[in-house]
Chains A and B, each alone.
Chain A
Amino acid sequence: MSALVALTVIAPLAAAALGLALRRQPVTRDAVTMVGLATATASSFAILYDVAANGPTALHVGDWPADLGIVLVADLFAALVLPIALSIIFVVELFAIGQRRTAWGANPELTGPLLSVLTAGVSLSLLTGDLFTLFVAFELILVSSYVLLTHQGRRGQIGSGMTYVVMNLFASTLFLLGLALVYGATGTVNMALLAERIPELSEGVRIGIGAWFFVVFGTKAAVFPLFSWLPNSYPTAPTTITAVFAGLLTKIGIYAMIRFHSLTGMDDLGAPMLILAGVTMIVGALGALAQNDVKRILSFHVISQIGYMLMGLGLFTAAGTAGAILFLIHHMPVKTVLFLVGGLIENHQGTSSLDRSGGLARKRPLLAVLFAIPALSLAGLPPFSGFVAKLGVIAAGIEANQPAIVAAALVAGALTLLSMTKIWTGVFWGEPQEASMTPSAARESRANRRLMVGATSLAVAGTLTISVVAGGLFDLAERAADDLRDGATYSSLILEEERS
């Protein structure tokens, strides 16, 4: 069991090293990457099964005591999010292998190994039991994402990459300063110990620490005043890269926020969180309406949807946290699929601009179906997973008697549907338009296209599976939320194992 926990970090790192060494042999390199990612994904599903059945476990790396060494904790929250996150990267890497030989693909020598490093960072950030390892995991993710975003070296990518790098670097530096504050106040960076010690601090220090980390994680998660880097940088990257970023990176930020602020009981921050959540939802959805490029519209929706998760957290009730967790699980695959479909549109049409596409519903009906399912799910229509997730968050809002935020959530949902309609009329209806750039279409072989459509279909099937098992997932999310809010469970897990 603890070997499996370690494997989710080590397998992708080993695959990255091997993949870089073998970068001149395309077939072996891709095979190594896929094996590494498949191992990590399979382990994560085994962990989920084990944790759901037998309860959480902790791995003390190098057998150091928890307050000195690194602890990896597979509690229910981590075990629920991990398989989804790793499956997403697995599917996207499949898609990337298919897209390699087109003008829109990323550099094949680097994408595989870099995605593997990113995977290791994602696993580490979800599993880690202390704030400093979380910082290192964030850096691991960010460093690989910086390179993935800018390695093609096109002019627009460098320009917008600079905004992305500077904003995230600033957040990382604030994280480090925050670590110093936390260590100074409590004498530890271990989250289990923090869950015990932070509630005992004086009110000012406690709220200060909570607000500081809200800014740090909020920048990573693109919460309202801190989101401007996202819609500029995401659309310029190759589609596969954007799909991973949109599906995972901001969600890791909100994951860290849910974990840290729930464990340390920052209920006092609930009111400002709810206000920012409402503004994030509305501003993101309105921003999306003003765009006229598929990838830019979808990027703004990444921001808007973060608002829902923040709303679930900001309620600081068990139902709210459970809703936020379920929303996270629903949102990650749906967003990724939408960007993958955006990539297929770009491959077919030579552009993702709404003005220069049209009539795809007749030419590529499968593509229309693949877009429609996650788009309706994103807008929150039944019977898709988005409906269940939104229902969970909104019901929690009503229960907590917060009508304003519920109203904001409903308005943002309607605006989301509106901009999905805009993509639909722009791309799938109307007169078919000539592809504006043929070289990509010419170089796209049948096998490549099959692999890309296959990967996207696999991901759509995954989102449908989530809708089908949403009931069971919601029960698990409730259990995870209870564990999180009751810091004692988490602490006893890490600290008792250490004492025994």
Chain B
Amino acid sequence: MSVAILLAIGTLTAVGIYLITARSLSRILLGFSLLGHAAVLALIGVGGAAGEPPIAGVADPSETANPLPQALALTAIVIGFGLSLFLLALARRQQLFIGDDLVEDDLEDQRVGSDPPPDDDPAAGSDATQEAGT
């Protein structure tokens, strides 16, 4: 694998992961696109030396590039394309709800973290005594 491909994979991964940690879904989407490219490049890169297009009857099988990683990469690209569209739809929906496509704070975690023990304890206690009384 050439150094250029290695560097490209590294840069794409680094930028992709930086973007995924953002709060806005459109940036996350861009991050995933870049990470997906890094993965596809890695698949192609490990497939061995470059060669003729691996099409039967066009080139001598001994001179063609390894077709298996190419098949895997194509499948991965198609899946990534579909998922990008879904993420876009999700971002649009979130924008309709809150006017932006940000990931929201988790209210339930804040409740558990900040409140004193939730007030269902006395209720459960009185239920239990009630049950014992009957």
Instruction: Tell me whether A176 and B127 are in contact in the complex, defined as CB-CB below 8 angstroms, given that A159-B103, A161-B90 are known contacts.
Output: no
Residues of A within 8 A of B120 (CB): 292, 354-355, 426
Which residue in chain B gives the minimum CB-CB distance to A188? B68
Is residue A422 contacting chain B, with contact meaning CB distance below 8 A? yes
Q: Which of A346-390 contact B (CB under 8 A)?
A: 354-355, 358
- Quick check: B128 and A429 within 8 Å, CB to CB? yes
Select which of B20, B42, B94 is within 8 A of A162 by beta carbon: B94
List the count of A-B residue pairs having beta carbons below 8 Å apart.
113
Mark the stretch among A88-96, A164-172, A259-267 that contacts chain B.
A164-172
- Quick check: B72 and A173 within 8 Å, CB to CB? no
Instruction: Tell me whether A180 and B39 are in contact in the complex, defined as CB-CB below 8 angstroms, given that A136-B75, A165-B90 are known contacts.
Output: yes
Mark the stretch among A75-83, A110-118, A150-158, A405-413 that contacts chain B.
A150-158
Select which of A162, A173, A179, A426 is within 8 A of B127 by beta carbon: A426
Interface size class of A (residues with CB under 8 A): 35 or more
- How far does the alpha carbon of A170 sit from the alpha carbon of B106 in the complex, in Å? 20
Residue among A135, A136, A430 with the highest chain B CB neighbour number at 10 A: A430
- How far does the alpha carbon of A155 sit from the alpha carbon of B112 in the complex, in Å? 21
Instruction: Tell me whether A173 and B90 are in contact in the complex, defined as CB-CB below 8 angstroms, given that A180-B45, A429-B128 are known contacts.
Output: no
Q: How far is the CB of B21 from chain A (nearest CB, A)?
A: 10
Q: How far is the CB of A4 from chain B (nearest CB, A)?
A: 26
- How far does the alpha carbon of A153 sit from the alpha carbon of B40 in the complex, in Å? 32
Instruction: Tell me whether A431 and B130 are in contact in the complex, defined as CB-CB below 8 angstroms, given that A155-B97, A183-B69 are known contacts.
Output: yes
Q: Which of A64-92 contact B (CB under 8 A)?
A: 68
- How far does the alpha carbon of A136 sit from the alpha carbon of B69 in the complex, in Å? 14
Which residue in chain B gives the minimum CB-CB distance to A162? B103
Instruction: Tell me whether A292 and B86 are in contact in the complex, defined as CB-CB below 8 angstroms, given that A177-B42, A180-B39 are known contacts.
Output: no
Select which of B28, B46, B94, B118 is within 8 A of A180 by beta carbon: B46
Residue among B20, B32, B39, B119 with the highest chain A CB neighbour number at 10 A: B39
Which residue in chain A gives the minimum CB-CB distance to B94? A158
Chain A residues packing against B (C-beta within 8 Å)? 68, 132, 135-136, 139, 143, 146-147, 150, 153, 155, 158-159, 161-163, 165-166, 169-170, 173, 176-177, 179-181, 183-184, 189, 232, 290-292, 296, 354-355, 358, 422, 425-426, 429-431
